[in-house]
A and B are shown apart, each in its own frame.
Chain A
Amino acid sequence: MTAASRARLLRSVRLSIRILAAHPLRTALSVSGVLVGVSAVMVMSAVGSGAERRVLARIRAMGTDLLVVTGAPAPRVAGRARQAASVTALRPADADAIAGEAFLARAAAPGVTRAVIARWEGRNVPTTVMGTTPAGLRIRGIRAAAGRVFDDEEDRQRRRVVVLGPVLARTLFGEVDPIGLELRLGSVPVEVIGVLTPRGTDVAGADLDHVAVVPLETAMRRLLNIPYVHALYVQGAPGGNLSGLEAEVREILGRRHARRSGTPEPFVVQNQSVVLRTERGTARAFTRLIVATGLLALLAGGIGILVTMLLSVRDRRREIGLRRAVGARTRDIRLQFLLESVLVATTGGAAGIVAGLGMTVVAAVLGPWDLVIPWRAALVGFASSAGLGLLVGTIPASRAGRLQPVEALRAA
């Protein structure tokens, strides 16, 4: 590009800005369509990423190096469901066997859970009691924020001690320091020895902080009175692969739980890394879907520009004729309308980013998702708006360029 044509382009840009500023209502209407589109792309993308991040955080809170083995759903016999919802074959010794035999396992622990009423001084709070071993606490990342957690000795002796999730502790005791106090889980009195660090919610949305954690043996023998466990938590060795560990666990459990050939395995192995992958895939698909919706809004904005620009060409035929008379080439006229279209679209894009940022913050405050500033969506939105302006601008530009000077000057 020569210096003269650069100067010419610069003059055209300046003039286009003057023309657009001279028609504030028309310009504002065109800008607003793109503004809505770009801000929609941004907010949608932010909400999608924020939701994705929250889901992933929940999965990570469970531990991504974790296998969870649970009893398989109980088979129906003669068309009738069993009393227990799932097979009750898993035993604490299965966890010991896995910890001892699986090369890829770092640790393994059993766990039981059941809904229970926690009572203290006339308050009754429905909550979840969870029984596990100190190894299970470590695997699940359960730590005391105040007081302490139980040890192996207390587990073995079936001591009536409990560590409370912070939400349960607050609900039951209010401002009172619960450590050292005695509450009842169902009808069994237990002593509070600690309060847990907050852990948020799990993937299903269950509150991990509204829980009473007791030693496994205490839970099985004193509270639940059951010989089996609900789950085995198996932690992979650092850097090991979870799929290999899963195969090992299946092999060990298969050996320990002999079954007739043809019947399904009496347990289900849930691989957290697979869950993570699936959830991430779902979240991304969701994000793509809503971003596509936003892009549709942007497209609608582009059509708005197209219509306004076509009307503008019609309204300004005499102006086009005059420009031709004073020396504008066909391509100068085309360039001018193209420039105006791109200027409107990019102004809408920039304003959309500002509006989108504001709405993103508001959405994150109001909605159940994390604040994620969608810079990539902002960039994509801005680039799309510029491209859109260029694309839709070609139609009015070519129409304006085709106008013959004499015919344009004659226009009423």
Chain B
Amino acid sequence: MIAAEALYKSYRRDGVPIPVLTGASLTVGPGEFVAIMGASGSGKTTLLNLLGFLDLPDAGTYRFEGRDLSAAGDDALAAVRNRRIGFVFQQFHLLDRISAVENVMLPLLYAEEDVTDGAGRAVRALDAVGLAHRRSHRATELSGGEQQRVAIARALVNDPALILADEPTGNLDEQSGAEVLDIFGRLRDGGKSIVLVTHDRAVARRADRILRLERGAIVPGSAE
């Protein structure tokens, strides 16, 4: 599904380059649930952003579904994010003033093809996370766990091959976190590849494989 080789990424602060990733390499197969663990500032989120084409590496190669997209333009990358990848963020990133089902429909807005049954697809995605009955509620009327489940439904609405989750349980209580992880387990069983970054070992244990990120690189032989 994905194969990253020696990814480098640095950011500039006050003109000084600050290295974040210093040669991270990893592969994730189809239907595999991989957790990436690391301390704060180890580069977990930066790695996830590169894997999801939200950002581009300074050096290294990254093949997604067998394709190297390093030369692809903004439109092509946007299309990949839209159709093949679903994002789940720690902060949920729901739009407050529209309903749950409208939030889930957001990716359909940018679909290449003419979406005919958008609302139906969104409701089915909400049903998959057990929230079809809350479809008309606004984000502000939902609990944290429910908001994250809406965000997962939004990630699923275009039936992507890969789910990228950045500390998805970081803002949730234990029970809500467990519900979210159960959903990820079911999605993996349904054949989706999942990459989840976390600093919480208990969360990481739900994955098939755990990789450790330290000082910008995956620690060799860290897979558990």
Contact = CB atoms under 8 A, between A and B. Distances in A.
Nearest to A410: B45
Interface in A1-51: 3-4, 7-8, 11-12, 15, 18-19, 22-23
Contact of B106 (A3, A7, A326, A329): A326
Interface string A217-243: 000000000000000000000000000
Q: Is the interface of A mostly helix, strand, loop or mixed?
A: helix
A328 interface: yes
Given A325-B54, A405-B55, A409-B89, A319 B81 contact: no
Interface centre among B55, B78, B93, B107 (most CB of A within 10 A): B78
A15 B110 CA distance: 11
B54 A15 contact: no
Contacts of B79: 327
Contact of B114 (A3, A12, A318): A3
Interface in B110-165: 110-115, 154, 158
A210 interface: no
Contact of A23 (B82, B89, B97): B97
A322 interface: yes
A328 B54 CA distance: 11
A323 B106 CA distance: 8
Given A22-B97, A406-B49, A409-B54, A327 B111 contact: yes
B75 interface: yes
B98 interface: yes
A7 B109 contact: no
Interface residues of A, number: 28
A330 interface: yes
A22 B115 CA distance: 24
B112 A4 contact: yes
B78 A327 contact: yes
Interface residues on B, range: 20 to 34
A330 B93 contact: no
Contact of A329 (B107, B110, B113): B110
B163 to A, nearest CB: 12
A322 B104 CA distance: 12
A17 to B, nearest CB: 11
Contacts of A325: 52, 54, 81, 87, 93
B107 A327 contact: yes
Contacts of A404: 55
Contacts of B91: 318
Contacts of A330: 74, 78
B223 interface: no
Interface string A92-117: 00000000000000000000000000
A160 interface: no
B167 interface: no
Contact of B98 (A18, A321, A323, A324): A18
Interface string A111-141: 0000000000000000000000000000000
B83 interface: yes
A221 to B, nearest CB: 89
A321 B78 CA distance: 12
A404 B74 CA distance: 11
B98 A11 contact: no
A319 B89 CA distance: 13
A11 B55 contact: no
A330 B75 CA distance: 8
B115 A7 contact: yes
Contact of A326 (B81, B102, B112): B81
B95 interface: yes
Contacts of B112: 4
A406 B112 CA distance: 23
B109 A322 contact: no
B31 to A, nearest CB: 23
A207 interface: no
Interface of B: 49, 52, 54-55, 74-75, 78-79, 81-83, 87, 89, 91, 93, 95, 97-98, 102, 106-115, 154, 158
16 contacts: A4-B113, A8-B110, A18-B98, A318-B91, A323-B106, A325-B81, A326-B81, A327-B78, A327-B81, A327-B82, A327-B83, A327-B110, A328-B110, A329-B75, A405-B49, A405-B55
Nearest 8 interchain pairs by C-beta: A327-B82, A22-B97, A327-B110, A326-B107, A329-B78, A7-B114, A322-B93, A405-B54
